[in-house]
Each structure stands twice: as C-alpha cells, then as structure tokens.
A and B are shown apart, each in its own frame.
Chain A
Amino acid sequence: MSHVTTIDIEVRDLDALSAACDRLRLRLDRDVKTFRNFMGRQSPCDHTITVIGAEETAYQIGVVKLQDRPGFTLQWDSWNGGKGLVAVVGENCSRLKQEYAAVITRRELQRQGCQVSERRLANSQIVVTGRRA
C-alpha cells in the first residue's frame, strides 16, 4: 500500500445523489423548493428527497445549495425517526452519504479506465475496487 487517504465527503453532484437515492428506494425531485418536516411544516430548499412508498408519511430531506462554495447540504427532521425517514437513510443520513460516495467512486474509477467491482461487508462497509494496468 503506497498511501491511504481518509475523506469526509461533501455532496456536489446531483446526478450521483439521484443514483444514490435509487439505491435506497428514495427519489430526488429537482427544483422542488420545500420539504416536509415536523407537523407538516414546509421548509425551503433547492431540491427534495422523498421515501418511495411513504410519500405521505415519512418526512422529506431538503437539499440546499451551499452559499460559500459549490455543493449542497442535506437538511431533515429526525424527530420520531423522521416518521420512517431515518430507517431508510440512516442516522445523520449516513446510509445516503455512503451510497453517494459509492456512486461517485465507481464513476470516477471507470472514468480513469479501471475495471471496477463493488462488495458489501457484514460490518456495513462498502468496498469499491478499481484495477488497471
């Protein structure tokens, strides 16, 4: 191993975020400007993520453009498990971020000409491997 890098990811790519949503049975609706949260309140956002099959019950995620740099922040209400949202996306949206990182990684390694494989470990880690001559 010649080097190891540890990264805190930041959501910057809506296409990749949409693909990550597909992996978790979520739907990214672009340019939907409010997301539903506590007591039916609608809060402002730039795009919305909805749990497929629980459109009327689960809280939504608001995807909000960062003001100071390219990218987005995710906003949601986790009260009472977000009425089913947290079970899908994980605490702190960890599962959604994990899937987003996997999508980005696969795409970037393929772009570099790597042969790419992906596996999921029992400890919930996703391992993406790229090989090239």
Chain B
Amino acid sequence: MKEVQVTIDANGKVTVGVTGAVGNSCLTLTRDLERALGASGSEHRELKPEFHQRGQEGGQNAAQR
C-alpha cells in the first residue's frame, strides 16, 4: 500500500511525504501533485534512506541527479 501524506500549514506551505513506494516510483507519485500545486523550482525535496535502500532503480536515479 502506497500512502501520500500532504500537510498544508497555516501559511499555505505544503509538505508532501510518501511511504510504501521505493525508488523512482516514489517521485512519480508526487510529481503531478507538485506541478498542480504550482511548484516552479521553489520546492525542496529530501530523499529518505528508504528511497535509496530498497530500490536499485531509485539508487540509480538518485545518482543521476
């Protein structure tokens, strides 16, 4: 089960967290949401250990960035 949790604070700042998705599928899950919310280079993404450790694909993609 993949879960996306979006927290919107009182100033309209949005934090998106994903669980249950590994590697690139994790980023795919939130990319459209980030676009819809208007992310235009102002976003900050922090990859958690799960991103790298469970998916070969994710590790490769992370390295490419």
Are chains A and B native binding partners rather than an unrelated pairing?
Answer: yes
- Seen from chain A, the residues whose Cβ lies within 8 Å of a Cβ on chain B are 1-13, 69, 71, 90, 92-95, 97-98, 100-102, 104-105, 107-109, 111-112, 114, 123-133
Minimum CB distance partner of B47 in chain A: A3
Whether A125 contacts B4 in the complex (CB less than 8 A), given A2-B21, A6-B13, A13-B36, comes out as: no
Determine if B6 and A2 form an interchain contact, defined as CB atoms under 8 angstroms apart.
Answer: no
Q: How many A-B residue pairs have CB under 8 A?
A: 152
Q: How far is the CB of A112 from chain B (nearest CB, A)?
A: 7
| 8 more CB-based (< 8 A) A-B contacts, given A2-B26, A94-B12 | A2-B20, A4-B46, A5-B39, A8-B39, A13-B36, A112-B33, A114-B4, A125-B10
How far, in whole Å, are A116 and B13 apart by their CA atoms in the complex?
Answer: 20
Determine if A130 and B3 form an interchain contact, defined as CB atoms under 8 angstroms apart.
Answer: yes
Determine if A133 and B1 form an interchain contact, defined as CB atoms under 8 angstroms apart.
Answer: yes
Q: How far is the CB of B60 from chain A (nearest CB, A)?
A: 15
Interface size class of B (residues with CB under 8 A): 35 or more
List of 8 A-B pairs having minimum Cβ-Cβ separation, nearest first: A10-B38, A97-B12, A124-B10, A8-B42, A2-B26, A2-B50, A2-B51, A7-B14
Determine if B40 and A3 form an interchain contact, defined as CB atoms under 8 angstroms apart.
Answer: no
B59 located at the interface, meaning its Cβ lies under 8 Å from any Cβ of chain A in the complex = no
Q: How far is the CB of B47 from chain A (nearest CB, A)?
A: 5
